[in-house]
Amino acid sequence: MKAKTKTETEIKLPAGDAGAARRLLRSVGFRVHKPRVFEDNVILDSAGLKLRRAGALVRVRQAGGEATVTYKGRAMAGRHKVREEIETRVADASEITEIAARLGLTPKFRYQKYRTEFRQARGGGVATLDETPIGVFLELEGPPAWIDRTARRLGYEEADYVTESYATLYFAWCRANGVKGTEMVF
Question: 72: domain CATH number?
Answer: 2.40.320.10
Residue 79 to residues 157, 162, 179, Cα–Cα distance (Å): 11, 9, 29
- Give the pairing type, strands 30-45 and 57-63: antiparallel
Between CA 92 and CA 68 the distance in angstroms is 9
Q: Is residue 22 included in any domain, yes or no?
A: yes
pTM more than 0.75: yes
Q: Containing domain of residue 18, as a range?
A: 4-176
Q: Kindly report the average pLDDT of the chain as a whole number.
A: 96
DSSP string, 31-64: EEEEEEEEEEEEEEE-TT-HHHHTT-EEEEEEET
Between CA 28 and CA 30 the distance in angstroms is 6
Phi first, then psi: what are they for 70, rounded to 5°?
A: -135, 135
Average pLDDT estimate for 60-76: 96
Question: Do residues 38 and 121 make contact, with C-beta atoms less than 8 angstroms apart?
Answer: no
Q: Is residue 106 included in any domain, yes or no?
A: yes
pLDDT digits (tens, 9 = 90+) for 77-87: 999 999 999 99
Q: Is residue 72 included in any domain, yes or no?
A: yes
Task: Give 4's pLDDT tier (boundaries 50, 70, 90).
Answer: low
Q: Does residue 75 carry a pLDDT above 60?
A: yes
Q: Is residue 184 included in any domain, yes or no?
A: no
Q: Does residue 5 carry a pLDDT above 80?
A: no
Domains in the chain, number: 1
Average pLDDT estimate for 159-164: 98
Question: Do residues 69 and 87 make contact, with C-beta atoms less than 8 angstroms apart?
Answer: yes
Q: Is residue 62 included in any domain, yes or no?
A: yes
Q: Is residue 182 included in any domain, yes or no?
A: no
Q: Which helix (H) or strand (E) holds 130?
A: strand 126-132
Q: Is residue 183 included in any domain, yes or no?
A: no
Share of residues in the chain with pLDDT > 90 (%)? 96
Between CA 111 and CA 39 the distance in angstroms is 8
Q: Is residue 88 included in any domain, yes or no?
A: yes
